[in-house]
Structure 1
């Protein structure tokens, strides 16, 4: 089963499918938000709103472990996520999409692993599933909008936006976009041997890239304008994902634990 984690502005995404049920999953890390189980053609999918419906949770208060664990418990083996991000470069414009292939983690206070009781060191040489990325990129060539292949996602703690000095540093060390919700989600999925890829929707220019003040209204306005294209990209990608994947994600724990 594929799972979808919806970011800012993406709280319901079952319009083209047949809703079967909504369920809250109890996990060792707390309850998940209500998860929608629905059918898209002949595929069963699970949709989880990262911030809960209504955007009740700020980035630093999201229970990432409960969210990912709940999807795993439901039988999800692959996740497509969405993130609203700021662009670190004028060439990547609001309303465009980026499929990251690497990340820089500048979060500070979030529980970031399932393995506090023993030493488990998962490999993140390819942090995002190569097969899911390939599907998103090939599908992106057919949607109404620019989909960029690859780039480094920088994750900050939030909830404030970043300073010009921070943005300058992120650019200097290779960042392409900046957001607040991509970590530790991608690593937690790897720790549970789940495929994971994300669609970064550029909602604004980061601080100092544009001279304009950054507002949350701007972010929501762009997300609302591009939601139809984003939904099309997600649904068509899911229909194109190979049922038998041969990526290394499902073997992530091989060689990761000290015996």
Structure 2
């Protein structure tokens, strides 16, 4: 008899964050939407079964616009995951953030345009998304370290290029504080999978319109993320320990009345 692999919680690792668990078992998961970014690692953290998936792949093979977002979300749900913590690299647009800050944003603006952003392919199924992040998961992340900031809007751009100064200044003028390339459609797909989802954003640089000089570069982003890996892992571990019971959370119960027109596994 084959034992079904299960996990309660998932961590989706961002740029440079390719491993998290000690001595995990790796599992190949097939989905109706193709293969996920990598085999899913499953282990234990703070007494809970945790899945880890590097969104870009273990060797960073998937650029932001090429990440198999639907396959990733479906694969995690098929293992039973109901809560998702999503560390990611972001640029700062102002609003008092600086490189090295950890932020749990509370709002999202989607400026992507080449990605499949939903599991809905037929019928009427409109996702409630006014508040895109789970309040319970967000609170666990924000309380995991006194240096973590809560609140702010993250705008997600298509990539893989960085913004022009004019674009960056426009985003800042809207009052948005963070800029990223992977937060959409990941957050909406998690909600469609009835999962509680929240990001943990590491500010790696100030975006082009928020600084003088040559503007942001790839190596600067990667280097800052590498320097903060242990810090991120510590925050995530404490947050996992403090996660609330997901039963009854609106991240899942929205679907009770709407009636999804697609398969939700698990």
Name the TM-score, length of structure 2 as normaliser: 0.91
Instruction: Tell me the secondary structure at the aligned position of residue 98 of structure 1.
Output: strand
For 1:197, the equivalent position in structure 2 comes to 198
State the shift of 1:256 in Å: 3.3
> Is the contact made by 1:97 and 1:202 (CA closer than 8 Å) also made in structure 2?
yes
Change (3 A) 1:108 1:99: same
State the shift of 1:174 in Å: 2.3
For 1:86, the equivalent position in structure 2 comes to 91
Change (3 A) 1:244 1:76: closer
For 2:5, the equivalent position in structure 1 comes to none
Counterpart of 2:28 (choices 13, 18, 24) is 24
Q: What is the 5 A alignment of 1:145-164? A: 146-164=147-165
CA distance in 1, matches of 2:240, 2:234: 10
Counterpart of 2:226 (choices 224, 227, 242) is 224
State the shift of 1:167 in Å: 1.1
Change (3 A) 1:237 1:245: farther
**Per-residue deviation, residues 11-36 of structure 1 (Å, max 9, x unmatched):** 01114xx42x1012110100111110
For 2:176, the equivalent position in structure 1 comes to 175
Name the TM-score, length of structure 1 as normaliser: 0.93
Q: Unpaired segments of 5 or more residues in structure 1?
A: none
More moved, 29-38 vs 243-252: 243-252
Counterpart of 2:113 (choices 103, 108, 116) is 108
Q: What is the 5 A alignment of 1:206-245? A: 206-213=207-214, 214-243=216-245, 245=247
State the shift of 1:195 in Å: 0.3
Task: Please tell me whether residue 4 in structure 1 is matched to residue 5 in structure 2.
Answer: no
Instruction: Tell me the secondary structure at the aligned position of residue 140 of structure 1.
Output: coil
Q: Comparing both structures, which one devotes a greater share of its residues to strand?
A: 1
> Is the contact made by 1:90 and 1:209 (CA closer than 8 Å) also made in structure 2?
no
For 1:14, the equivalent position in structure 2 comes to 21
**Per-residue deviation, residues 230-253 of structure 1 (Å, max 9, x unmatched):** 100001100111235442111122
Counterpart of 1:122 (choices 127, 130, 137) is 127
CA distance in 1, matches of 2:104, 2:119: 26
> Is the contact made by 1:79 and 1:194 (CA closer than 8 Å) also made in structure 2?
yes
CA distance in 2, matches of 1:90, 1:226: 21
> Is the contact made by 2:167 and 2:209 (CA closer than 8 Å) also made in structure 1?
no
Number of residue pairs the alignment of both structures matches: 252
Q: Unpaired segments of 5 or more residues in structure 2?
A: 1-7, 262-266
> Is the contact made by 1:121 and 1:257 (CA closer than 8 Å) also made in structure 2?
no
> Is the contact made by 1:123 and 1:256 (CA closer than 8 Å) also made in structure 2?
no
Change (3 A) 1:189 1:244: closer
> Is the contact made by 2:46 and 2:237 (CA closer than 8 Å) also made in structure 1?
no
What's the C-alpha RMSD, in Å, of the aligned pairs?
Answer: 1.6
**Per-residue deviation, residues 49-90 of structure 1 (Å, max 9, x unmatched):** 000012111000001000000000011011000110000017
Counterpart of 2:55 (choices 50, 53, 72) is 50
State the shift of 1:126 in Å: 1.6
